[in-house]
Amino acid sequence: MVTGTKTTVWLPSTASNRHASVRLFCFPYAGGGAVIYRDWHRSFPQTIEVCPVQLPGRGGRMREPPFTQIRPLVEAAAEALLPFFDKPFAFFGHSMGALISYELAQLLRAERAAAPLLLFVGAHSAPHLRNREAITYNLPDGKFLEELRRLQGTPQQVLDHPELMEIMTPLLRADFEICETYPVSTAPPLESPIVAFGGVDDVEVPREKMEAWREHTTGQFALHMLAGDHFFIHTSQAEIIRIVVREMSRRVGGDKV
């Protein structure tokens, strides 16, 4: 495994796995960090190396300013993660992470670099669909807090803790700005197959907005609607992992969970 300050900052919890034949890079939702995927490796066979990605502004990178636009974020991620693309790999992203995964795959294609074997995307509208939601990242603090409570993605104990919210609010605003100012994609479809996940009770991203990801690949496409709301990544984690392992194993071989 390639090591170095820049790479290990982006992949803080990834241990070298010489048995792995493929890597899975996991990108978080808005306000989240690599900790979301902290225990995923326990449910994967040794042939798949799970690589949770730590973005600036969270975890051990708390002192770094978070990105507010997706293009510079993806460019920085590509530069840091490039040494890890030395073997077959796939991307997994939930909500904001889905956009990051998609844009990173597009950037790699534009630079004629290696392409992901698979793109796993969850809980975000297809990139060509215009965002019709209200802009919230620049709301006054009180209104922004109300929006966070409505979305139900931030733990109640954090919302009720002024000191924690003082730390979290700049990060959440930055991540929301990435999502809310994302320009609709006009890029041609990727060749990488796409596997999409939606929550049956997700009012923010209904089935039809997940189904529309089909337009972004010339390869195979599959949609799985799972139990839960926008954060079904937690409530349906076992099912997500089962599907991811199955799809990756079909393409690279190896043991299954």
Residues belonging to the active site: 95
Q: Which residue has the tokens 């790699």?
A: 108
User: What element of type H or E holds 93?
Assistant: strand 89-94
Q: Kindly give, in sequence order, each residue whose CB lies less than 8 Å from that of residue 174, ignoring residues fewer than 6 positions away.
A: 57, 65, 66, 67, 68, 137
Nearest to 242 by CA among 21, 101, 44: 44
Beta pairing, strands 48-52 & 194-199 = unpaired
C-alpha radius of gyration, the chain, whole number: 17
Residue spans of alpha helices (H) in 52-155: 70-81, 96-110, 141-151
How far from 213 is each of 27, 180, 216, 235, CA to CA, in Å? 18, 18, 6, 23
Residue 155: burial class (beta carbons within 10 Å; 0-12, 13-18, 19+): exposed
Q: Are 200 and 226 in contact (CB under 8 A)?
A: yes
Which own/partner pairs from 163-171 qualify as long-range (CB within 8 Å, at least 24 positions apart)?
167/62, 168/31, 169/141, 169/144, 170/57, 170/66, 171/31, 171/57, 171/58, 171/66
